[in-house]
Amino acid sequence: MSANIVLIIVITSLATYISRFLGAFTSEIIDENTKIYRWFNYLAYSTLAALISRMIIFPAGALSDSNYLSRFIVVLFAIIIFKLTRNNLVYPTLFSAIIMFLLSNFTI
């Protein structure tokens, strides 16, 4: 059993570090304005949007105890804070957790 775990860790580490190495190696020669690069960018954003939508509509774990309205309010505030802080991701992440805590614990 432990040999299998070690083998899995080695294989996943190799996959992670090989992809990072190839990304760093090819980063100088990739043109960001090509169609394939834009397609991957669109694919990444659409995947992120789908995951966020899934978290709002079909939450799992502790988030499923909250209601839809509070989840939508948190997302709305996070987007507003994101735009007010000029696309900074730290503040919306922190404030969304705080707002969700407040809405979950102090609702009437």
Cβ contact 79:92 at 8 Å: yes
Helices (H), 1-108: 2-26, 35-57, 68-84, 90-105
- Per cent of the chain over pLDDT 90 is 56
User: What distances in angstroms separate CA 16 from CA 8, 36, 73, 84, 105, one per listed residue?
Assistant: 12, 22, 36, 35, 39
Kindly report, residue by residue over 10-43, the tens digit of the pLDDT: 999 999 999 889 888 888 888 888 898 899 889 9
Q: Given the structure tokens 């979950």, which residue do they identify?
A: 104
Note the pTM of the prediction, 2 decimals. 0.60
> DSSP state, 29?
T
Measured in degrees and rounded to the nearest 5, phi and psi for residue 30 equal -85, 130
| Residue type for position 84 | L
pLDDT given at position 63: 86
